[in-house]
Amino acid sequence: MNAAVSPAIPDPLAQQFVAFAVEAGVLRFGEFKTKAGRMSPYFFNAGLFDDGAKLMKLAQFYAQRLLADGLQFDMIFGPAYKGITLAAAVSIELARLGHNKPFAYNRKEAKDHGEGGTLVGAKVQGRVLIIDDVISAGTSVRESIAMIQAAGATPCGVSIALDRQEKAAQDGVDMPWSAVQYVKQQLQLPVSAIAGLADLLQYLEAVGDGADIAGSRAAVQAYRDRYGV
C-alpha cells in the first residue's frame, strides 16, 4: 500500500476502536519522541486503558478482531508487562463469547521458590497466540517466541491493538520494512491488528474541520508520507 493512500472503504471495527482510543485519552496528538528518535504527531499509550470499563471495551475489540481474522490458536501468551493484563482481559472476553482459552505470561526475573521459573499461568502448549499493545521493534515478539518454543509449544501469531505502519529503525537507520512486516515475513507469524495508521487517518478525515483534533490530520499524513510503509 502506498504510504499516502488510505484504504478506500473504512473498516468499521477499526474506526470504532480509534474513536474509543481518542475518547479514552489513550491516543493523543501533539509532538512525541518515539523510541526510534522520531518526532511523532501522535502517541498511543495502552497503559492508559486503566479502569475496568476501558479494559473491558479494549478486550472486546481484541476478541472481535481475532474472531474476524479467523486466527486459530489454543492459548494466549502475554509478555510482561502490558501483555499480562491484555492476556487476562482477552481470555475473559473470549470465554464470554464461547471461546474459552487458557493463558500464561512471563516474569521478568525467574522465581527461585514456590512454582519457580519465569512462566506463570496455564501450561504453555499447542498453538500459542502472543498478545501485546504494539510491535515497536519485534524484540518482545522474538523473546516470546523463544520462551514458547523452550516450553515445547508453537507460536502461531501475534495480536496487537495498533499497527503504526511505519519503517523500523536499526542503529538510527530507517529500514524498508515495518516492525509488523518483519514479524510477518522474517518470523513467519501472522499479525492481527485492531487498527493501523491508515485507519487513524480515515478517522481524522471523517471527524471534519469542526473537531479539535481535525488539524492533526495534515501532521499525521506528513509523518506517514515520510516514514510509512
* pLDDT for the residue 211: 58
* pLDDT for the residue 99: 98
Q: How many CB atoms lie within 10 A of CB 80?
A: 16
Write down all domains in the chain, each with its CATH number in brackets: 12-227 (3.40.50.2020)
* pLDDT for the residue 35: 79
User: Hey, what's the cell of 70?
Assistant: 479467523
What digits encode the pLDDT tens for the residues 40-53? 999 999 999 999 99
Asked whether the predicted pLDDT for residue 75 surpasses 80, the reply is yes
Distance CA 206, CA 116 (A): 51
What mean pLDDT comes out for the span 196-211? 84
Asked whether the predicted pLDDT for residue 106 surpasses 90, the reply is yes
Q: Answer yes or no: 99 catalytic.
A: no
Please identify which of the residues 33, 54, 57, 111 carries the catalytic annotation: 111
Distance CA 50, CA 209 (A): 30
* pLDDT for the residue 174: 84
* pLDDT for the residue 105: 97
* pLDDT for the residue 49: 96
Which residues lie closer than 8 Å to 95 by C-beta, 6 or more apart?
101
Q: Answer yes or no: 111 catalytic.
A: yes
Asked whether the predicted pLDDT for residue 90 surpasses 80, the reply is yes
Decide: helix, strand or coil at residue 208.
Answer: coil
Mean pLDDT taken over the chain: 90
Please identify which of the residues 113, 123, 167, 184 carries the catalytic annotation: 113
Asked whether the predicted pLDDT for residue 3 surpasses 50, the reply is no
Asked whether the predicted pLDDT for residue 208 surpasses 80, the reply is no
Asked whether the predicted pLDDT for residue 111 surpasses 70, the reply is no
Pairing between β-strand 27-33 and β-strand 39-44 as defined by DSSP bridges: antiparallel
